[in-house]
Structure formats: C-alpha cells, structure tokens
Amino acid sequence: MINNVKVTVANTPKVITVSSGNVNSLSKLTDVSIPDGGVPDAALLQYDAATGSWTSTNIIDRGITINCGSY
C-alpha cells in the first residue's frame, strides 16, 4: 500500500515524523536490496534501473553527475 505524504516546510525548524505503515526499516521495503553480508559502513542507496530496485553500496561504479547548485 502506498500512502501519500504531504510535508510543509516552515522557516522555524520542526521535527517531522512520517508514518509508512508497519515499515520501520529500509531493509523491509520491497524495492530495497540488502547484500547477504549486510550493509557496509557509510553505504548509500543507488538505484538500479535493470532490476527496478535500490541497492546499498559504498562504491559508485556508474556514471553520475552531482550538481551542488550555484555559489
């Protein structure tokens, strides 16, 4: 089941809690793949279009452009 979540951001910092049913861990999501040995320290999620899922990794081995905006 997919729940729509609306978040409003104000100038005053607030703690925002988002509920997603019974999911309290990324590893419990059906489109997140966790390696058999577990998640490596400092890992990030990288989308794999071939499998349609997110994979935890600490190696970025595909072409990627990171745009950090203008200064």
**Structural domains of the chain, count:** 1
How far is 43 from 60, CA to CA, in rounded Å? Answer: 10
3, part of any domain = no
pLDDT at position 9: 64
In a domain, 20, yes or no: no
For each successive 10 residues of the chain (71 residues), what is the average pLDDT?
Answer: 64 67 76 81 84 84 76 68
Asked if the structure places residue 53 within a domain, the reply is yes
What DSSP letter does each residue of 23-62 carry, written as one string?
--SGGGSTTEE--TT-PPTT-EEEEETTTTEEEEES---S
User: How confident is the model at residue 2, as a pLDDT?
Assistant: 60
Q: What is the pLDDT of residue 32?
A: 85
- The reply to whether 2 falls in a domain is no
Is position 33 within any domain? yes
**Does the residue 47 lie in any domain?**
yes
CB 45 within 8 A of CB 60: no
Q: What is the pLDDT of residue 14?
A: 65
pLDDT value of residue 18: 66
Which domain, by its residues, includes 44? 26-57
In this prediction the pTM is: 0.50
In a domain, 62, yes or no: no
